[in-house]
Amino acid sequence: MSSERVPVELSQGVNGLDKIILRETRGSSAEKSNFFFIFYLFLLLRGFQVYLFGGHVTSWKNDHGEELLFVSSKALFKPPKAIRGGIPICFPQFSNHGPLEQHGFARNRFWSIDTDRPAFPTNSSSKAHIDLILRSSEEDMKIWPHSYEFRLRVALGPGGDLMLTSRIRNTNTDGKPFTFTFAYHTYFSVSDISEVRVEGLETLDYLDNLQNKERFTEQGDAITFETELDKIYLSTPTKIAILDHEKKRTFVIRKDGLPDAVVWNPWDKKAKAMADFGDDEYKHMLCVEAAAIEKPITLKPGEEWRGRQELSAVPSSYCSGQLDPQKVLLGS
C-alpha cells in the first residue's frame, strides 16, 4: 500500500471510527567539525489522514505540520451523518441535482482498504498512497439500482501535494448504463474569508444555487467574499487558485476529468442553521469543489471514468505584490 519510507498507520479516530494516517518525517543530517560531529535534525512532518467512513480525507498537513483543510469543531463523526469538513466525496449525485439524498451516499458509507486493485494508470510516481474501495450494496441497490466499483487513491506528492484519483466502473450485469454527477467537496482552511480571493473563474458562466440554479455570467475581477455564495462554475480551467492574503498562502487546485467547480461559503445565517458547524467558522473555511455536474457522466457496463484533483499549498507574498496571481494560474 505504500513505500517503507512512508509510515501508514491504521488507528481509531473520533468515536472509534477507523482512520488511516500517512505521515512523512524527513530531513536529518550530520556534519563533522574538527572535534566532534554536529547533528542537525529537521523534523518535517507532513501527511494526511482518511476515515474509512465516507472515504473521507479529514487532514492534510504541510512540512511544518500546519493543517491545510478545515474540519468543523462541531463535526459529529457519527454515521450516517457525513463529516463536516475535509474532503467529502459527492457520488452518485451532487447536491440535490437528482432524486437521491443530498450529495449522494458515498460520503456516508463505510469504505474498505483496497488490497486487490488493478494497475492504477497515473502520471505520478508517488508511493505514498492509500487505496480505498466502495462497492454497491444490496441496500443501496434499492435506492440506486446499479452495480459499481469506486476506487479512490489518496496520495502525497513529492512536494507534499495532496492528490485524489477516483475511478468509477460500471459492473452492471444487466447490460444497463448508469449516469452520475460527482464532486470532491474540499473544505480549505483560510485565515479570514474576507481576505481571500479565487482566481481562474472570472467571466465564466455559473449556475446560482441561491437563485434556483439559474444561469449567469461572472463579471469582472477575481471572486471575493462578503456574503453567502453558492455557485457552480461551468467549463472551468484545469487550474484554479485560492489566494489567502493574511496567511500569505496560495492553494492551487489542478483537476482532470472534472470540468465544473463549485464555490461555497455559507456565511453567518446558514452557519447558525447548521448543527455541526460553529457560528463563526464560516470565516475560516472555503469550499472550492472540483466537479462534474452540468454534463452528468454515463458509463456502459465495463466502462470506467476517472476524475482527479491535485492540491498544492504554496507560500505567497501576494500582499506585498511579489506574486502575480496570473503566474500561479498559468505557470506549470
What part of residues 213-232 is at the interface with ligand BG6 (CB under 6 A)?
Answer: 230
Out of 185, 281, 294, 310, the active site residue is 185
Q: Is 24 in the site for ligand BG6 (CB under 6 A)?
A: no
Instruction: Determine which one of 281, 289, 294, 310 is catalytic.
Output: 289
Candidate residues 24, 161, 244, 289; the one interacting with ligand BG6 per rule CB under 6 A: 289
Long-range contacts of the stretch 205-214 (C-beta < 8 A, 24+): 205/233, 205/234, 205/235, 206/231, 206/232, 206/233, 206/234, 207/231, 207/232, 207/234, 207/294, 209/95, 209/264, 213/97
User: According to the binding rule CB under 6 A, does residue 102 interact with ligand BG6?
Assistant: yes
Could you say whether residue 262 binds ligand BG6 (CB under 6 A)? yes
**Between 180 and 318, CB nearer to ligand BG6:** 180
Residue 208 touching ligand BG6 (CB under 6 A): no
Residue 273 vs 330, nearer CB to ligand BG6: 273
Element holding 125 (H helix, E strand): none
The number of residues that bind ligand BG6 (CB under 6 A) is 9
Of 26 and 295, which CB lies nearer to ligand BG6 in the complex structure?
295
Q: Does 264 engage in binding with ligand BG6 (CB under 6 A)?
A: yes
User: Does residue 289 carry a catalytic annotation?
Assistant: yes
Residues 6 or more apart from 285 whose CB is under 8 A from it? 70, 85, 187, 188, 189, 190, 193, 265
DSSP code of 270?
A: H
Residue 95 interacts with ligand BG6 (CB under 6 A)? yes
Residue 185: active-site member:
yes
Instruction: State how far the alpha carbon of 289 is from the alpha carbons of 12, 274, 295, in Å.
Output: 28, 20, 16
Q: Can you read off the three cell numbers belonging to residue 293?
A: 455536474
Of 209 and 236, the one with the shorter C-beta distance to ligand BG6 is 209
Nearest residue to 286 (alpha-carbon basis) of 251, 239, 260, 256:
251
Residue 330 is given by DSSP the state H
Cite the active site residues. Answer: 185, 289
Enumerate binding residues for ligand BG6 (CB under 6 A).
Answer: 95, 102-103, 185, 209, 230, 262, 264, 289
